Amino acid sequence: MDTDAARVEPRIERSQTGVDYAQGELKLPRATKDGCQFVTDWYLNHLLQGNVKVCNIGTGSDTVTAKGAWVNTTPDIHMQIPDGRVVFPMALEVNIDDWSDDQDLEMLLAFANSLDETPGSGTSQTVLNMNNKFLARTGVTIESEVGSITALSGRYQEIWRTNGTFGANPAAGSNEDGAPTRFIYEARHLAPTACIVGPSELTLHVGKTTFEYFARLVFVELLTSPAL
């Protein structure tokens, strides 16, 4: 046997764009531009290929007004996920800008197989791509301050919940004494995520007397086929 004939020409793609699952093809191993092979984790790979999306609800100094007391038909944030799309919630951050009183706070992030495509009197929010090389390339619709939806139903699941019990003497026109003002759901660390296959909807409800806030919702969005 001629051992010299056993040489194999290595083939590697020098790229940092990530594997494009949408093409459904076998891919060459990835490497940096100088030829060092590397493997990205699931999230970073989707970030590189433009599948990680963000929605900022309230920007700059322009806050959003919470809906007030918890009612299951008036979400503070409502995402419509149509047929043909799948969403993986990755992070949610809510920053309270101005408390109004000492009423206890509760936040609930949930989803279901139902889909209300005509919510009442919501404020449309912009979805952006967290890889700014790309346009949003999104099929979902996100609204805040929604006046009414049909209550979630069908395989209803609650992903994340947080709450707080506050003192009786809030500082007038400012934060409640000692109250936290930043609440975070983070699927990449300790919190679970979900695979939400459209048609479905995702909601955030905030139960508390009306106050001002900012929020940021981060999610991976894919075409259902060939992703699943």
pLDDT digits (tens, 9 = 90+) for 35-60: 777 677 889 989 989 999 999 999 98
Given a cut of 70, the residues of the chain with pLDDT beneath it are: 1-30, 38, 98-103, 165-180
In this predicted structure, what is the pLDDT of residue 9?
A: 47
Coil/strand/helix, residue 57: strand
Residue showing tokens 């449309």:
124
pLDDT tens per residue across span 178-199: 566 788 999 988 778 999 999 9
Residue showing tokens 């279901």:
112
| C-alpha span between 67 and 89 (Å, rounded) | 22
Q: Quick one: residue 68, left, alpha or beta (phi over 0 = left, psi -120 to 50 = alpha)?
A: left
Coil/strand/helix, residue 154: coil
- Cβ distance 109 to 92 under 8 Å? yes
Question: Distance of CA 222 to CAs 81, 113, 195, Å?
Answer: 11, 17, 10
